[in-house]
Structure 1
Amino acid sequence: MATRTVVSVVDDIDGFADAETVTFTYDGKTYEIDLARKNRDALAAALSPFVQAARSTSRKGAQRPKSSGDEDAAAVRAWAAGKGIEVSSRGRVPRSLREQYENR
């Protein structure tokens, strides 16, 4: 018998489905929040004047630091499930899927 697990990512603000995880850093601390399109747009609009006036601290070609393997794999699996992409609940996450997650 096969088992199918469906993970639905919902908006942390209003509970709507089809949310995506948004990561941002403020005052040296990194945060993640799951937001549907409406709230992602609202966050982007609220941050826009600050982002436009700010200086970028990232270096060209620098990659984002990775979290620990298990935690990172869980985040990739949750993101993939939210996108309807099937991925094994165990074992290694394919590199191509990790790259999609990192470039989201």
Structure 2
Amino acid sequence: MADRTILVDDLDPMTTQGVERIAFSYRGTEYEIDLGPVHQAELEAALQKFLAGARPRKPGRRAPRSYTRIDPAQTQRMRDWAGKQGLSVPTRGPLPKRIREAYEAAQPDPSHNPTAAQHTPTSTRKNTHANASA
């Protein structure tokens, strides 16, 4: 005789009929929940307007990353400061946002913060529009 798995609604343990496992992702975290027909309908109704405005994600594609490039000398000053504060900071690679934010918050006067003038926002998108005034 084969074993049989009976799913139970995670929101109503008395419901076992018509229960399905629903998998979804939100803000990079994968979730799953077992729901009976009533709770499935509630979830679908709650998501309806968001699904209408959303688009399916193509498998294997990731959103382009954007980052802030900081002068290497400034990066080293931030690393040195973080080490003196007892913060764990990598010796190579980009600085974690929490380190940059802590460093900037610790500066006495934001208008004299040298990192503000040295940040160069970069993005993975290419500018495909020609400047008409050039």
TM-score, length basis structure 1: 0.49
Bigger relative contact order, structure 1 or 2 (CA pairs below 8 A, ≥6 apart): 1
Which protein is bigger by CA-based radius of gyration? 2
